[in-house]
Amino acid sequence: MTKALFALPFLALSLIAAKPAPVPLKPVVAMSAPAEIAADPANRWMLELSNGGRVVVQLRPDLAPQHVYRIQLLTTQGFYNGLAFHRVIPGFMAQGGDPLGTGEGGSKLPDLKAEFNDLPHLRGVASMARAESPDSANSQFFLMLAPTFKLDHKYTAFGRIIEGMAVIDAAAVGEPPAEPTTIVRATLGGPLPVAPSAPVAAAPVGESPASAPVAEAAPATK
């Protein structure tokens, strides 16, 4: 009996030792940008709209450096000036950035490799539209009017509206709208930063927009 009683503590110790170490939890992406990102004025994207308001997007180069730089570069080139929000669906999103106004156009720059990340597609989040290929984002973007989590990890979120949400809420509705709201002028809060040193590798292919309901995916860009 005595031997058995002494054996129990050793058995317990062996079971504890055999227990696998806990898997560290993946950090949750904060909706607010890190202090150093927010402090850089170049990471503020300002859209003056034809409805008289202004939208300010806090860009997140910490999450999608290549996509943010594309927005910054095209903005400094005046690319977005005069372009319409050609697809606005209440309770879903407002999409712009197409020089053709049809959802099929883009800039003359090469398409971008996907930078899918953990920023959820909540109301106010800015994300890049694309075609069926995950590596086909170019210049078109959409601003979330309501949470749509089925877009997460399928589209590259690159920022979030921090001022003027009511302004984009008031954008003319339609696909396309009869009298679309346009971007009168797009600017950055500071000078164009240095380009990211190397492209981010393409992420795994997710569900293509062609196989998802229209209210759950952004439209094709080309």
In a domain, 139, yes or no: yes
Q: What is the mean pLDDT of residues 59-65?
A: 98
User: Which range marks the domain in which residue 145 is found?
Assistant: 47-189
Does pLDDT of 115 surpass 90?
yes
What CATH number corresponds to the domain at position 125?
A: 2.40.100.10
In a domain, 215, yes or no: no
* DSSP type of residue 139: S
* pTM, rounded to two decimals: 0.81
Lowest mean pLDDT among 17-31, 78-92, 187-201: 17-31
In a domain, 129, yes or no: yes
- Do residues 142 and 93 touch, judged by C-beta distance below 8 A? yes
Does pLDDT of 148 surpass 60?
yes
* DSSP type of residue 13: H
* Residue that wins the pLDDT comparison between 220 and 60: 60
In a domain, 23, yes or no: no
E strand or H helix at 175, and its extent? Answer: none
In a domain, 25, yes or no: no
pLDDT of 12: 45
pLDDT of 68: 98
pLDDT of 20: 57
In a domain, 65, yes or no: yes
In a domain, 17, yes or no: no
Which percentage of the chain shows pLDDT scores above 70?
Answer: 76
> Helix, strand or coil for residue 43?
helix
pLDDT of 5: 39
Domain count, the chain: 1
Q: What is the mean pLDDT of residues 24-31?
A: 64
Cα R_g (the chain), whole angstroms: 22
In a domain, 118, yes or no: yes
For 124, 151, 162, 168, the CA distances from 173, given in Å and listed in that order, are 17, 21, 22, 10
pLDDT of 203: 41
Q: What is the mean pLDDT of residues 63-92?
A: 98
Residue 167's closest CA among 218, 94, 76? 94
